[in-house]
Amino acid sequence: MPVDPLSDVLSLLKPHTYIAGGFDLAGGWSIRFNAHTGIKCYALVSGRCWLTVEGAAEPLEMEAGDCVLLPNGRRFVLAADLALDPVPYPDLAPAVGPGGVLTLNGGGGTMILGGHFAFSGAHADMLLGAMPSIVRLREDADKDGLRWALERMRRELTGGQPGGVLVARHLAHMMLVQALRLYLAEGVGRSVGWLFALADPRLAAALGAMHADPGARWTLPALAERAGMSRSAFAERFKATVGSSPIDYLTRWRMLLAGDRLSGGGEPVSAIAASLGYESESAFGTAFKRVMGCSPRRYAARP
DSSP string, 256-287: HHHHHHHHH--S-HHHHHHHTT-SSHHHHHHH
Q: Tens digit of pLDDT per residue, the chain (303 long)?
A: 455 777 887 777 777 766 677 899 999 999 999 988 888 888 888 999 999 999 877 899 999 888 888 887 889 999 999 999 999 998 988 877 766 788 999 989 999 988 887 776 656 665 566 567 787 776 665 556 666 776 777 777 777 778 877 887 777 777 777 777 777 766 655 566 777 777 788 998 999 999 999 999 999 999 999 999 999 999 999 999 888 899 999 999 999 899 989 987 778 999 999 999 999 999 999 999 999 999 999 998 887
Are residues 178 and 225 both part of a single domain? no
Sheet architecture: strand order including 48-53: 60-63, 48-53, 76-79, 30-33, 87-88
Instruction: Read off the CATH number of the domain in which 65 is found.
Output: 2.60.120.10
Are residues 42 and 166 both part of a single domain? yes
Query: Bridge partners of 30?
Result: 79
Question: Of 187, 221, 241, which marks where a domain is finished?
Answer: 187
- Contact partners, residue 116, CB within 8 Å, separation at least 6: 17, 18, 19, 36, 38, 39, 40, 41
pTM, entire model: 0.70
Are residues 144 and 50 both part of a single domain? yes
**Is the four-CA dihedral 136, 138, 139, 140 of positive or negative sign?**
positive
Distance of CA 131 to the CA centre of its chain: 9
Are residues 206 and 182 both part of a single domain? no
Are residues 34 and 183 both part of a single domain? yes
As for how many domains the chain has, the answer is 2
Question: Of 171, 187, 203, which marks where a domain is finished?
Answer: 187
CA 68/CA 136 separation, integer angstroms: 5
Supply the DSSP symbol for 191: -
Query: Bridge partners of 19?
Result: 116
CA 130/CA 125 separation, integer angstroms: 7
Long-range contacts of residues 258-261, Cβ cutoff 8 Å, at least 24 apart? 258/284, 258/288, 258/296, 259/122, 259/123, 259/288, 259/292, 259/299, 260/12, 260/121
Question: Of 187, 207, 226, which marks where a domain is finished?
Answer: 187
Residue 77's H or E segment, with its range, is strand 76-79
Are residues 161 and 205 both part of a single domain? no
Instruction: Read off the CATH number of the domain in which 264 is found.
Output: 1.10.10.60
Residue 60's H or E segment, with its range, is strand 60-63
Are residues 107 and 203 both part of a single domain? no
Are residues 44 and 175 both part of a single domain? yes
Are residues 151 and 107 both part of a single domain? yes
Are residues 84 and 183 both part of a single domain? yes
CA 120/CA 134 separation, integer angstroms: 22
Are residues 66 and 23 both part of a single domain? yes
What's the one-letter identity of residue 10? L
What's the one-letter identity of residue 60? L
pLDDT of residue 181: 74
What's the one-letter identity of residue 47? G
Domain with 15, as residue range(s), is 5-187
Q: What's the pLDDT tens digit per position in 190-243?
A: 566 777 777 788 998 999 999 999 999 999 999 999 999 999 999 999 999 888
CA 171/CA 273 separation, integer angstroms: 37
- Contact partners, residue 150, CB within 8 Å, separation at least 6: 43, 45, 113, 175
Are residues 162 and 215 both part of a single domain? no
